[in-house]
Amino acid sequence: MSESVWCDNQTNKRMLRISGASLPKQELIMQINLTGHHIDITDSMRNYVDSKFERLERHFDNVTNVHVILSVEKLRQKAEATLHLNGGNVFADSVQEDMYAAIDALIDKLDRQVIKHKEKLQSHRGNNINKYADAEQP
């Protein structure tokens, strides 16, 4: 008999299955807030930003919220973004002559920072395990 039990805790939500079968991983949906400063955000710009941020989701799926600001000042096209991650925030900006080039450079910077953040989290988790293993040995 397979019976599902849903537990709701204030700090986190967990799904339990009495039968012991594995459950599918819950997906976090990344919310992208796109703001234009002295520029109208077109559908093609929005689609371009969305497609580029999918690359970040492949490397680190714990991005919960992204705030992107695209701005134009004379001949400078500026793209900046703040990523809200589980465990911190990541900020990057890029200035180019073309807005699409600025978005590409922004994504490259964010990608490097997110990978560095992910490696940092993994190394901290691994260090804790090693400390406990060393402490248990006589």
Tokens of 20: 């012991």
pLDDT tens digits along 53-106: 988 888 777 788 999 999 999 889 999 999 988 778 999 999 999 999 999 999
Span 11-40, average pLDDT: 61
Alpha carbons 4 and 62: distance in angstroms, whole number: 26
The count of residues in the chain is 138
Beta strand 63-73 with 88-96 is unpaired
Position 126 confidence tier, pLDDT thresholds 50, 70, 90: low
What is the per-residue pLDDT for 128? Answer: 54
Please check the confidence at residue 13 and state whether its pLDDT lies above 90: no
Position 3 confidence tier, pLDDT thresholds 50, 70, 90: very low
Q: What share of the chain is helix, strand, coil (3-state, %, to 5)?
A: 40, 35, 25
Which residue reads 């134009």 in tokens?
A: 72
Domains of the chain, start order: 31-136 (3.30.160.100)
The pTM for the full model equals: 0.69
